[in-house]
Amino acid sequence: MNNETLSQLEQLIDKLINRNSELESEVKSLKDQTAKLLDENETLQLEVLESEEKQKDASSTLTGLLEKLQSANQAS
């Protein structure tokens, strides 16, 4: 191989090494982002479950109150 070919090969290898570093950094960033989003998703799912439970409780309370009103109306 002549010197020019070796020089070009060196440059290409340097570019590949730099690009590899960039991609590794990007992968790390994406993994961090994924972990954060998974945590956020879990939190939101728990909030939904709590909200559904509160909605069921409110519905039961309202149903009980409605039954009391209907009973009172029928008695009078």
* Total number of domains in the chain: 1
Confidence (pLDDT) at 37: 98
| DSSP codes joined into one string, 25-71 | HHHHHHHHHHHHHHHHHHHHHHHHHHHHHHHHHHHHHHHHHHHHHHH
Reported as a pLDDT band with limits 50, 70 and 90, residue 75 is confident
Half-sphere exposure of 14 (CA within 13 A, CB side): 6
The residue behind tokens 């409780």 is 57
> Which residue segment(s) compose the domain that 28 sits in?
1-76
pLDDT per residue over 5-35, tens digit each?
999 999 999 999 999 999 999 999 999 999 9
Residue for token pair 């039961």: 60
* pTM exceeds 0.85, yes or no: no
Residue 76: the pLDDT is 75
Compute the Cα dihedral for 48, 49, 52, 57 and give only its sign: negative
